[in-house]
């Protein structure tokens, strides 16, 4: 069984929308505009590339990342690993040709079936809607969260507001940095 890891930049009030400057959000670019950059706070991002065996994302994140990430040296390790896009609307003809093997999954059942296969961890980048759906379905095993000392108010949230039973998490790694960022790594308790 494979481990599904959600990795996110998240504000203290739970917003994950447009951390890198994606257009259309009032506070777009909040990760680099409002908090001093400290390289040590982002160590986990390089580690994720080394430890992941595949990457998963929703359609919106795929459409944002696929034109840019294949050419970026910072994301070179992701170029060669298999990618899975969870989408009911993306067509095979919409996939870029320079980013390695990419498979479209149409349902959460497809994600559950993928989890049952052999292989290493699958990392989820961006993909707020996908994260909420996978979390609600019990398909996420671990969270890698870089929590920014910001309150952004409105915006896409990492977690849904679905009325559901309590889900316990176990803190397995954490660190606070001089710029106020906090790294929190949680395993989902089953």
pLDDT in tens, 104-152: 999 999 999 999 999 999 999 989 999 999 999 999 999 999 999 999 9
The alpha carbon torsion through 53, 58, 63, 66 (nearest 10 deg) reads: 0
Q: Which ranges of 90-161 does DSSP label H, i.e. alpha helix?
A: 108-115, 128-136
| Spatial separation of the C-alpha atoms in residues 74 and 113, rounded to whole Å | 31
pLDDT number for residue 74: 87
Six-digit token pair at 101? 């093997």
**Phi, psi dihedral angles at 90 (to 5 degrees):** -65, 135
Please give the radius of gyration of the chain, using alpha carbons only, rounded to the nearest integer: 16
The model's pLDDT over 7-42, given as tens digits with 9 standing for 90+, comes to 999 999 999 999 988 889 999 999 999 899 999 999
CATH architecture designation of domain 4-188: 3-Layer(aba) Sandwich (3.40)
Distance, in Å, from the CA atom of 5 to the CA atom of 47, rounded to the nearest integer, reads: 13
Among 120, 114, 78, 110, residue whose Cα is nearest residue 96: 78
Domain boundaries, the chain: 4-188
Are β-strands 142-148 and 182-188 bridged in parallel, bridged antiparallel, or unpaired? Answer: antiparallel
pLDDT tens digits along 163-183: 999 999 999 999 999 999 999
Residue among 164, 169, 167 at smallest CA distance from 184: 169
Tally the residues of the chain.
190
Q: In this structure, are residues 18 and 29 in contact, taking their beta carbons and an 8 Å threshold?
A: yes
> Beta-carbon neighbour count of residue 46 at 10 Å?
12
């Amino acid at each position: 069984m494979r481990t599904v890891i959600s990795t996110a930049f998240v504000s203290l009030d739970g917003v994950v929308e447009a951390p890198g400057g994606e257009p259309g959000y009032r506070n777009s670019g909040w990760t680099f505009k409002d908090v001093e950059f400290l390289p040590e706070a982002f160590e986990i991002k390089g580690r994720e590339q080394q430890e992941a065996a595949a990457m998963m994302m929703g359609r919106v994140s795929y459409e944002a990342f696929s034109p840019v990430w294949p050419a970026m040296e910072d994301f070179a390790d992701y170029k060669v690993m298999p990618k899975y896009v969870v989408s009911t609307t993306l067509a095979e003809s919409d996939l870029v040709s320079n980013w390695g093997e990419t498979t479209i999954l149409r349902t959460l059942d497809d994600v559950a079936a993928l989890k049952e296969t052999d292989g290493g961890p699958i990392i989820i980048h961006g993909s707020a809607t996908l994260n909420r759906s996978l979390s609600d379905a019990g398909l996420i095993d671990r969270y890698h969260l870089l929590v920014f000392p910001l309150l952004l108010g409105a915006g896409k949230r990492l977690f849904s507001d679905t009325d559901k039973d309590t889900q316990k998490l176990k803190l397995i790694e954490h660190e606070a940095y001089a710029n106020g960022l906090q790294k929190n790594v949680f395993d989902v308790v089953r």
